[in-house]
Amino acid sequence: MNLFICVSIFIFSTSKNKATEVELSGNFKKAAQRLKDSGKPQKVLQVRQGDMKKAEKAMKEVGVGGTVKNMGGRKRKSVPKPKKK
């Protein structure tokens, strides 16, 4: 018997200056796009520790600068804003 469990959880939270996205399903490009579309100056993508590099790459591909944090909040990586040409 095969058992497949699909977890598709995302939490999108905003305050006056910050947009936070918690992504557990692996759709980092969609999460990064939601952050970009938020228009907030501070953007945070919170993911599992093992997915931090993938999330950072997705943010660069989408063209959004911000912070990638692990779920515990102990590790963080800044993603620079893309340079305007």
Q: What is the pLDDT along the chain (85 residues), one digit of tens a residue?
A: 444 333 445 566 778 889 999 998 889 999 999 999 998 999 999 999 999 999 999 999 999 999 999 999 899 999 999 887 7
| The predicted structure's pLDDT at residue 15 | 80
Instruction: Provide the β-strand partners of residue 10.
Output: 23
Q: Which amino acid is at 74?
A: R
Distance CA 3, CA 76 (A): 34
